[in-house]
Structure 1
Amino acid sequence: LTPRSYPEIGRRFGGRDHSTVIHAVRTVEALRIADSELDAEIAAIRRSLNS
């Protein structure tokens, strides 16, 4: 979704460490696998942002 690095994303979210960003990404990925409604909502948001 973004070409930004994990450290840069962390800085933009209040100076968080890159490992915090990686943990968040993995958490959301796991939630998407477990919850098809959440997966559909995230897919719709991505389509909206990319159009």
Structure 2
Amino acid sequence: MYGVGSSIMTNDRMTNTDFTLDIARAKLNGRWVDVAKAGRRAGAHAELRPVDLSEL
């Protein structure tokens, strides 16, 4: 998974691509490691659900 700055994408009234991503935690060698930017952190978000991307 990766994130890009929305400033490099077209974003006007016809095209809305203003979506970015921050990674707060990553699994490295079988264990979770905090990798958030300064001032940010992983949080509990009860409404989020896993998404199956295997058919993309």
- TM-score strictly above 0.5: no
What range describes the TM-score normalised by the shorter chain of this pair? under 0.3
Give the TM-score of the pair, scaled to structure 1: 0.27
Q: Rg: which structure is higher?
A: 2
Provide the TM-score with structure 2 as the length reference.
0.26
